[in-house]
Each structure stands twice: as structure tokens, then as C-alpha cells.
Structure 1
Amino acid sequence: MQITINQELSLRTISLGDTEKVFALTNASREYLKEWLPWLDYTKEVADTRTYIESCIKGHEANSSLSLVIVFRNEIVGIAGFNSINATNKIGTIGYWLSEGAQGHGIMTKTVKALLQYAFETLQLHKVEIRAAEANYKSRAIPERLGLVKEGTIRAAEWLYDHYVDHVVYGMLKSEWQQQK
């Protein structure tokens, strides 16, 4: 699957062929990403990334998740997609990360906007959620910029290496997406 956003930016389903590039990208941005992502200590070698991608493929095949590489100017610069898709309740949860060097081009806002469109128009979801650590203002700015509603805060939602962080939950209903269009 591929979603073309513009001439420079697209999303496509992650594949095993992306293993080396995704690991190299993760490794190059390790310290930057570690501030808000808890899985970096478990991604120490190429085999760890391969295992991750294999789980992404299984999730896609089961229609329970969808992981996409973000391709900007013909280079993989991050990962975005649906960490979970609850088919019964028609709710998807978007997650994303972008390499440090790709910041400042509006990539993630455009990516999440495309994912919202895909969620509501293709997957026919009723609701999309995005969760971000309370102090992760860059990540929180994306749902706020795109008009998602701040629904609340989950206390001690995630263990981040040596401490818990609260998550702010944002949501958008399909009817709200349609009103925005």
C-alpha cells in the first residue's frame, strides 16, 4: 500500500527490505528519539529491527495495525501508522516518529493528516486517537494543529526508562473529520 501526499512525501507499507535503512535511521537518531520513545534500548542491532518489522507485517495481515515508512525526498525518515486498529469499535490509534534530521519540514503534520483521511475514508473507522507524553510538546502539537479534541490525561501511562510519564489523549470522530473537509 502507498499513500502519496505530494511530490516529495509519501507513505508505504513497511517491508523486510526496509530493515537495514530503518535500523540505520533509528541508530542515527537514537539519543534524540530516546527522550520520548521507550523501545530504543531494545533495538540494539539489525536483528531487533527485523523482528519489529516482522511483527508489523503480522499486525497488518491480521488487520490489527498498520505500520508505514515515511519517505521524504526518496529517503526513509520515520515511521507512522496505526499502532492498533480495533475493528469491533472502529477505533484506530495513530503513532509516529521522525528522525531528528527530518524535523522542520511539516512532514509529520502532513503524514498524520493523510492517515486521518485514510482512517475515515478507506478503513471506515469511527474514531482516531493519538496519545503523546504530556511534556512532549512537539508531538502534541500535531493533533492540536489538526483539530483533534483533547479528551483527557492518563496518569502514569508509560514507563520511560526510569520514570512514568502521563499521556494526553486526543481524539477525532469521523463526523468531525467530515465537518473539517
Structure 2
Amino acid sequence: MAFALYRTDLGKINIDYENDVVVSLRKSQQSLNKFKPTKELKSIAFAVYETALGTFRIDYEDDIVVYLRNLREQPCEFGVKTKFTDSVFYQLDEYFNGVRSYFDFKYELRGTEFQKKVWKTLCTIPYGETCTYKEIAKSVGNKKASHAVGLANSKNPILIVIPCHRVIGSKGDLVGYAG
């Protein structure tokens, strides 16, 4: 697994990738010095990228994104930048500038079966539209699982790409969004 740290108009973004597949692309929430790969991510790499929305970190394995998150603390300025991470961040820049509405780099969802089902359902929400937690719960087969959908949404490993930001409360309000 490799990583790269990038600066964009929206801040720093971190990309982790392996074999040209993004495994994590997020604005980091922790210092890169505190990063510890899990057993599942034995050879994880990351990149950090500055965007107009702040600093993002992407974790990836075999060039597959497994995690994309916001960096809330000041990260160290290192990582492994490659053609793959440059491509991922180029697509993010296009998205943030309103030029792109989808992503075509590889990513892998890592979580429970329920979480993956929710995240895959989030990907069906069209660009520019929203969906409620209750509607997502119905889509995954349990109309009473709105809270569980919210928890899965909060664990979204690939920010922006998996559009958790398109999910709203039943009254049309932003509920539980941590951005």
C-alpha cells in the first residue's frame, strides 16, 4: 500500500492506494504520525491532498482506494505520489469545480456486509439529488433501519466518492453530517 499527500484549492487530501486502486480518499482526521494500518491493510499507502474543502487523505492498496477522509489536524507533508494518485486528485479537483459528477478510479469498500450494502446504495443517488435515511433503509431491505443506515453512513470510508453527503433527514435537514 502506498500513500500521497496533495494540496488543492479545497485543502490537503490524503490518498492511499495500491496497484492503481484507491482504498482511501479523505480529508484526514488525524495526524499522519498517528496512522497505524489495520491487519486488513497490511501494505497500506496514503496521499494527502489540499482542496478548496480542506485537507484530504486517501488510503489505498494495490491502486484501489479503501479510505478517503478529511484531515482535521495538521498532517506531515509526505506520502507517495504516483500517476494513480495524481489521477484520483485530478478527478476530485474536477468534481469540486463542477466539471465531473462521477469517478472512474478503482476503489474497494471495506466494512460489514450491512455497511457495504448501504454504501453501494448511496452510490445510486444521482448527482445533485438527495435521499433520506429512511429511503436508504427501505432500499437495503429494512425500513426500520434508519439509525443503522446513519451509523453506516458515518463510517463511510471513501468520502465524496461514496456520496454520504446526499443523505438527509426525513424533514429535509442535514442530520448527523460530520463532513
Q: Considering fraction of residues, name the structure with more strand.
A: 1
Q: Considering fraction of residues, name the structure with more helix.
A: 1
TM-score range, shorter chain: under 0.3
The two structures have a TM-score, normalised by structure 2, of 0.27
